[in-house]
Amino acid sequence: MKTKADLEISDATADDLDAIHTLEVSCFPAPWRRDFFESELQGDSRLHLVARRDGSVVAYVFAMWFFDEMHVNKIAVAESERRKGIADALMDRCLEFARTNGISTVSLEVRQSNSGAQAFYEHLDFEPTYIRPRYYPDGEAAVVMVRHLPW
One residue of 37, 62, 65, 120 binding ligand COA per CB under 6 A: 120
Shortest Å, Cβ 20 to ligand COA? 12
* Residue 83, φ and ψ in degrees, nearest 5: 60, 35
One residue of 34, 71, 82, 93 binding ligand COA per CB under 6 A: 82
One residue of 7, 87, 98, 106 binding ligand COA per CB under 6 A: 87
DSSP character string of 81-142: GTTSSHHHHHHHHHHHHHHHTT--EEEEEEETT-HHHHHHHHHTT-EEEEEETT-STTS--E
Which residues have a Cβ under 8 Å from the Cβ of 119 and sit 6 or more positions away?
Answer: none
**Binding of residue 123 to ligand COA (CB under 6 A):** yes
One residue of 55, 66, 80, 83 binding ligand COA per CB under 6 A: 83
Cβ distance 132 to 142 under 8 Å? Answer: yes
**Binding of residue 64 to ligand COA (CB under 6 A):** no
Which residues have a Cβ under 8 Å from the Cβ of 8 and sit 6 or more positions away?
Answer: 51, 52, 53
**Binding of residue 84 to ligand COA (CB under 6 A):** yes
**Binding of residue 116 to ligand COA (CB under 6 A):** yes
Supply angle C-alpha 148, 5, 103, rounded to 5: 20
**Binding of residue 76 to ligand COA (CB under 6 A):** yes
One residue of 57, 106, 110, 143 binding ligand COA per CB under 6 A: 110
Chain residue whose CB lies nearest ligand COA? 116
Given the rule CB under 6 A, which residues bind ligand COA?
27, 75-77, 82-88, 108, 110, 114, 116-117, 119-120, 123
